[in-house]
Amino acid sequence: MLRLSKNRLSAALAVSLLSGFAANTFAAEERWFEVEVYIFERDVPTTEQWPTETATKSNRKTVDFITPLISTDLTAVSMGLNGCTSTDWATDSVNCNEQMSSAKHKAMADVPMQISAPSPAVAHLGDGAVLLAQSQSQFKDIMATISREKGTSSLLHMTWQQSMLPRNRAVPVKLFSGHDYSEEYEFNGQPIEANNNSSEFGNFEFFSSQLSNNSQKPVWKFDGTINIYLQHYLFIETDFRLREAGSKTVTLASSELRADSNTVETASQEVTTPFLYSIPMTQNRRVRSDEVHYFDHPKMGMIIQIRKMEHPTARVAEPVPQADTAALPDASF
């Protein structure tokens, strides 16, 4: 019986050692890179015909650096909570989205172009991707050169560190910036009709505000995802949308029943209506690290660099303070 217990103990120790070795081996195999992205808009005439169909919202898990910076959780502030960090969004985006939906949030109507951590940061093993400070970026000269070009305006600039995984395991980074059009347009581009029924049924501001807050989602000037993965080579996969207010012509059909002949006559009329176009930029390109790459588009452009970096180390645990036993009185029995 004693021999069996020893065997079980040896087996348990072996499994524990192998698990630890596998975890350390996997961490050592991970390749980390620093990513810097600068996206800008081109306000130039074009003969391109943009689609009027809008892509459906994706429910895929993403890393979201921006939402924690621009959103103030009023409920969490009153309760002294910290809310979701970028690591939380990467590992449990469903729970973070539920918190965003259930709590009262106040978000900016316009997202700033520069998204950065308040102080220099560094990635640690097990913490996921990390947003860096503006002082850690390297695109200052490039951005200054592009901003001097006629018809260009900056949309987004940010830098972060992440591990590169195969495509089937990589988690895209969510990007968005600019004006929120949700007060003027639906996500599908249709203009929001003014509610003229309030005077007839009374003005219940509380209920109407609750309904609008629950149903209204941001419609950003620019949004989408960028997925960087390692499949023998580095690949950059973009799925962006740039929104531009304009108009489109629709055909309205009306039917009328003629009493004299008991027939139905159909008439059509072309009407011009406001519309928010969603201009796509979807590309997938193989790239090399440390090189500056340019993704071109008639209405926008992206400058991106994936830089090699030192492998992150594990976060050092803070020492637990020990009780001062010298100050305790001696017990005598």
pLDDT band at 232 (very low <50, low <70, confident <90, very high): very high
328 occurs within a structural domain: no
206 occurs within a structural domain: yes
Residue 209 structural domain:
29-46+53-245+276-314
Q: Are the beta carbons of 330 and 266 closer than 8 angstroms?
A: no
Predicted confidence (pLDDT) at residue 100 exceeds the cutoff of 70: no
CB neighbours (10 Å) of residue 139?
A: 18
197 occurs within a structural domain: yes
Query: Mean pLDDT over residues 24-35, rounded?
Result: 72
Give pLDDT, residue 157: 98
pLDDT band at 44 (very low <50, low <70, confident <90, very high): confident
pLDDT band at 81 (very low <50, low <70, confident <90, very high): very low
Average pLDDT taken over every residue of the chain: 78
Predicted confidence (pLDDT) at residue 80 exceeds the cutoff of 60: no
The counts of H helices and E strands in the chain are 8, 13
Task: Name the domain count of the chain.
Answer: 1
Predicted confidence (pLDDT) at residue 257 exceeds the cutoff of 70: no
Q: How far apart are CA 229 and CA 286, in angstroms?
A: 10
**What φ, ψ does residue 151 adopt, rounded to 5°?**
85, 10
333 occurs within a structural domain: no
User: pLDDT of 119-134, one tens digit each?
Assistant: 999 999 888 999 999 9
Give pLDDT, residue 115: 96
CB neighbours (10 Å) of residue 20?
A: 10
Q: Are the beta carbons of 9 and 3 closer than 8 angstroms?
A: no
262 occurs within a structural domain: no
Give pLDDT, residue 70: 86
Structure tokens, 69: 């910076």
Instruction: Tell me the pTM.
Output: 0.72
Compare 319 and 299 and report the one with higher pLDDT.
Answer: 299
5 occurs within a structural domain: no
9 occurs within a structural domain: no
Helices (H), 30-177: 67-70, 74-79, 86-91, 93-102, 140-147
110 SS3 class: strand
304 occurs within a structural domain: yes
32 exposure class (CB count in 10 Å sphere: 0-12, 13-18, 19+): middle
Predicted confidence (pLDDT) at residue 245 exceeds the cutoff of 60: yes
User: pLDDT of 20-29, one tens digit each?
Assistant: 444 444 444 6
Structure tokens, 27: 């961490």
Q: How far apart are CA 246 and CA 151, in angstroms?
A: 18
